[in-house]
Structure 1
Amino acid sequence: MIEHRTAQLARWFACLSLLLMIRPASALPGDLDLTYGGGTGAVFAAPVAVYDTLSATVRRSDGRFLVGGYCNSASLSRAFCLSSRNADGSPDASFNGTGSTLTQVATGFTSDTALALALQTDGKALLAGWCDSSSRDFCVVRYNTNGTLDTTFGDAGKRLLDFGNSNNSDTLTALVVQGDGRIVLIGFCNGQSTFCIARLTSTGQLDSTWGGTGLVATDIVANDLDLAQAGTLLPDGRLVIAGFCRTTPGSPFTAYDFCLTRYLANGTLDTTFGTAGIVITPVGTEWDQPHTLKRLPDGRLLAAGQCRVPDDAGTGLKDSFCAARYQANGALDTTFGIGGKVTISPAPEFRYGGIDVYADGRILVAGACRHLNATSGCNATFGAGKFLLMRLTAAGALDISFAAGGINYFALGRYSNYAYPANVTLLPDGKVLFTASCAVGAAGDPNPNGAVFCFARFEGEPSPPVLCTLDLDGDGQVLATTDALLHLRIALGVPDTAKTTGITFPASATRNNWSAIDTYLRSLCAPASPYCMLDIDGDGLNTALTDAAIHLRIAAGLRDSRVVAGLNFPANAPRRTWTDLRQYLATQCGVTGLQN
């Protein structure tokens, strides 16, 4: 055993020495990655139109990524625009020949404003927002992988939806795709006073199993402002929506709180969540606006956006990053920040962009800021401020191991406009992709008259690896009748439709259907080996006679050499003895109670 551990330490130090030799000494988490963008760390896209505003980013499994938003041009007042980029930020020529496409959705001289982007499992892309010509409606467009409109969707690739209220103010802000291909559109309507959610079939038709008509409207605070901004699906098909609601009738527009609702799969409010399906949370002093909602691997919910809090002098308010973390039932998670809430003020003026979350719970935040009188940090180098990238610990504090004290302030292009949105994406190798719109205008900029899509990459470090998974359904237990049985069926190649047949999942399971379990397992592994976390003996395969058998025996309560009795391990399996497997199961799979 001592020799085995010595060999492990020797290999670990050898790998560390190699990393130190190949990684520049100055490259720390949060620094610009100077291997990106030809040594600058940044890439500026060619103009799609005159003014290109980026709203959303999604990454494909092969490293390419899509950025979507709205672009203003001379011939089209405002149109949807979508660009496909290679991993290095260069245009993906397989997408519309140029890497970008421009789509007018409504007819006439319109304001088509795309705010949400999602990928389907078949690689097609959905870009959605609101379209305003004679009235404002939800609108969504589906594109084939080559950038052409998918004419099998809606009306020749496009779909407009009217909730039928007299205010003509249907505004779509978010989009999610269910595992079965149905599409959920999220926003607000009826004069900004109602959460409005539409569900479409995979072909773009209204799904009548959602609220009876495909359209559901919820008045959170009666006769006042309710603006839905984001949503996330739960493994069992329920839907959680986050937005901001004015809880003091007649008060100024700044009097908003975070508000969340949860719906059953049929569109009715889930009364087991919060109070009758609704949770309202004041976070800052005023203007509490969540724009992102993420479901964490353990089932908790993280809502993030911005709010206003007292300034340092106590004489006014300043814009800040604000977040709240909730238990699955809607109660605040008091292990996060102060009482479940976090407020951080990077500068007197802060504009939220987006977040991404590490497997260990750390949070990346992208945004923009302005401090016109500052001599450091977010002072404006020219015009209107800088971008920023910030990292928090899982508990909600600034992570001082990232950049300078947790925040990197930077400019892209001629200047980084405080008003422009920004997104952040954690890459598989731990690096960070930042995507935004950049104001331009100086000589040599790609679009001298407006703004372009821009991308930057930052240094990071990989999340601690998850090496083994025995709790497949996420209930905190390893059971023979759920986890081990699923493992066996995966190893035997049972069809997806039958993998969960006859299985009764515990009420505490956070993944209680095959779609959720499959998505979880694939998120931990490379596409070429989607179930690598089930390879217990380390031979590169997931087999019934070794890996699944070990899983079953552990689930049955064995914690000694009987776990491997009678098993015939492949010659290339690095873990073939009880000594090696015992250590692996204890340290990498979290199996407790092991003994010789």
Structure 2
Amino acid sequence: MLKTVKHRSFLVRGAALALTLACMTGCGDDDEPTPTPDAGTNTDAGTDAGTNPTPDAGTGALDSDIAVVRFNEDGTHDTTFGAGGVTHVDFGTGRDGTRDSLWDVRVDGTDRIVLFGNKRADGTRSDTDRVVARLTATGALDTTFGSTETPNGFSVLNLSNLNDGMRYGFIQPDGKIMTSGYTSMPTGVGAQAANRIVLQRLNDNGTADDAFGWKGVVTSAPFQAQSETNPEWGMAEAYAVGMQSNGSYVTTGYGRSASSGAVDLVSFRYTATGALDPTWGVGGAVVLDLVGDNDRGRNLVVLNDDRVLHVGSGSLGAQNNQALLLVQTPDGQPDTAFAPEGYKTFSLDRPEQAFFGVARSADGNWAAAVGYRAGGNQNDDGILAIIPTSGSAEEVIIKATPISTSENDRFWSVAFDSTNRIYAAGFVTEGGDNQMVVARFTTEGNLDTTFGTGGIAKLNVATAGTEEAARGIAIQSDGKIVIGGPIEKR
């Protein structure tokens, strides 16, 4: 159900930003766990403990790079891209289990490729920095882009030596780049630190957009002290951000108004300049709590009519984490035309299901969500939901789409091409070796057998590597398919 909570938000400006950020202590219980390992051992609705947001396979590789590859429209590997068909991008040098990660891939209006991720901070620092990198349409590092005086292809944000958890991003119609994520900062209440939302907007050339927040950055702590007798703060994270037609930004993620306990799906809206919008939802917030357990927003897409589709997971009890779709009206109310309370959960015969990727078709008639099912002493499988945007939850097509019948596979991201074909990207394990995978589906949910082999294209970039997964996918204007993700450094 939707809950009403007290909240406040602020922009930390000027010297106060540097001072506050520099005072950061350990992240403790509020830090987000590692993205669910490829081996399927951690549950999506686990605790908030953990400090390393990077691995996909959870195997302890010393370092990783980002691999970006391209497929032709028929599913064959495009060897004209990058160097022999692969571009290796090194965000930074990994140490002590913290290494390069990738969360999203987008293409802009000229088919340049934008990567969204994190890296281990430089020098002796042990924190992570936010990284946006840009490649040319053919896979070369774009050295006209960057945050340094002499651009080098990378825009790096150091939040005064804090762990910055970059998540999903997007490119605006005007070419500006928006990113989401979170960091943990002191609350000023004893030794407490709590996660807060971090949004960043870049200009087209990779420099900070000073018209947004302070130097392009907004830090937002919506759940502050609830009362004089209970001064500890809650926490909030933004896993994704989308833009409505009036320039407002809507987030999805998870958080709680209390200092500890289960997390709920939370959503906020910010103006084009970064101020919290109190007209969103109820009192400026949307909080979805199904039955008092952990509910998480993992991604969102703004539909053509400014409604917002959130995807993630909801817990209905022990060993019952279900994939979740939530549709909101343009002002943040439940869309009762979609479902009586605006949301629907889905179970596919496993203890754990979750959506991580979502996309909208160019004509606005369709949306698609992808993720995985896991647990029950069975292999992990990718899952796919196809949503008619003018329909109800009862019209959603949802199915498990296993790539392997004997080992694990998951989908992390999804995209539509100009003809409404659906591309799901992730990984498949074969013989203990993880490979990148793309599958193409029709809007009826069937594999398109004219693509790849039986509708599936695989690529093993790092042979015998346990860390290899496509975390993002984007379609260029000529129909070619770009995917990217972390691989073990060789």
Name the TM-score, length of structure 2 as normaliser: 0.68
**Cα 1:158–1:263 shift into 2, 3 Å:** same
Partner secondary structure for residue 159 of structure 2: coil
RMSD: 3.2
Which residue of 158, 164, 171 corresponds with 2:165? 171
Show the counterpart of 2:220.
218
Rounded to whole Å, the distance in 1 between the matches of 2:221 and 2:236 is 7
Rounded to whole Å, the distance in 2 between the matches of 1:268 and 1:360 is 28
Rounded to whole Å, the distance in 2 between the matches of 1:138 and 1:356 is 23
Rounded to whole Å, the distance in 2 between the matches of 1:325 and 1:229 is 16
Partner secondary structure for residue 385 of structure 1: strand
Cα offset, 1:213, TM superposition: 1.9
Gapped regions of structure 2 (runs ≥ 5): 1-36, 40-54, 186-193, 225-232, 446-476, 479-490
Residue deviations 1:544-582, cap 9 Å, x none? xxxxxxxxxxxxxxxxxxxxxxxxxxxxxxxxxxxxxxx
How does 1:253-332 map onto structure 2 within 5 Å? 255-283=262-290, 285-310=292-317, 316-332=318-334
Which residue of 440, 444, 455 corresponds with 2:438? 455
- Structure with more of its chain in helix, by fraction: 1
Cα offset, 1:225, TM superposition: 2.4
* 8 A Cα contact 1:292 1:354, kept in partner: yes
How does 1:127-526 map onto structure 2 within 5 Å? 127-133=115-121, 134=125, 135-154=127-146, 155-164=151-160, 168-190=162-184, 193-222=195-224, 223-251=233-261, 255-283=262-290, 285-310=292-317, 316-347=318-349, 348-357=351-360, 363-370=367-374, 372=376, 380=378, 384-392=379-387, 394-397=391-394, 399=396, 406-412=398-404, 414-417=406-409, 420-441=410-431, 450-460=433-443
Rounded to whole Å, the distance in 2 between the matches of 1:74 and 1:287 is 27
Partner secondary structure for residue 129 of structure 1: strand
Bigger relative contact order, structure 1 or 2 (CA pairs below 8 A, ≥6 apart): 2
- The AA in structure 2 aligned to 1:124 is R
Rounded to whole Å, the distance in 2 between the matches of 1:176 and 1:203 is 15
How does 1:40-119 map onto structure 2 within 5 Å? 77-107=63-93, 109=95, 111-119=99-107
Partner secondary structure for residue 355 of structure 1: strand
Residue deviations 1:157-183, cap 9 Å, x none? 01210222x6x2111001121222221
Show the counterpart of 1:47.
none
* 8 A Cα contact 2:319 2:352, kept in partner: no
Name the TM-score, length of structure 1 as normaliser: 0.56
Residue deviations 1:301-351, cap 9 Å, x none? 1111111114xxxxx340101122111111111222231121111122213
* 8 A Cα contact 1:430 1:461, kept in partner: no
Show the counterpart of 1:10.
none
* 8 A Cα contact 2:145 2:206, kept in partner: yes
Residue deviations 1:166-220, cap 9 Å, x none? 6x21110011212222211210012561000111111111111111321110002
**Cα 1:297–1:360 shift into 2, 3 Å:** closer
* 8 A Cα contact 1:137 1:169, kept in partner: yes
* 8 A Cα contact 2:300 2:358, kept in partner: no
* 8 A Cα contact 2:67 2:87, kept in partner: yes
* 8 A Cα contact 2:68 2:88, kept in partner: yes
Cα offset, 1:148, TM superposition: 0.9
> Considering only CA atoms, is the larger Rg found in Structure 1 or Structure 2?
1
* 8 A Cα contact 1:355 1:423, kept in partner: yes
Show the counterpart of 1:9.
none
Most deviating of 387-396 and 86-95: 387-396
Rounded to whole Å, the distance in 1 between the matches of 2:174 and 2:359 is 25
Instruction: Give the percent of matched residue pairs that are identical in Structure 1 and Structure 2.
Output: 23
- The AA in structure 1 aligned to 2:382 is F
Rounded to whole Å, the distance in 1 between the matches of 2:218 and 2:322 is 32
Rounded to whole Å, the distance in 1 between the matches of 2:402 and 2:411 is 14
- The AA in structure 2 aligned to 1:153 is F
Partner secondary structure for residue 371 of structure 2: strand
* 8 A Cα contact 1:72 1:79, kept in partner: no
- The AA in structure 1 aligned to 2:66 is F
**Cα 1:72–1:127 shift into 2, 3 Å:** farther
Gapped regions of structure 1 (runs ≥ 5): 1-50, 54-68, 311-315, 374-379, 442-448, 463-525, 528-596
- The AA in structure 2 aligned to 1:158 is F
Residue deviations 1:445-484, cap 9 Å, x none? xxxx53111122234459xxxxxxxxxxxxxxxxxxxxxx
**Cα 1:365–1:210 shift into 2, 3 Å:** closer
* 8 A Cα contact 1:413 1:439, kept in partner: no
- Structure with more of its chain in strand, by fraction: 2
**Cα 1:235–1:346 shift into 2, 3 Å:** same
Cα offset, 1:438, TM superposition: 0.8
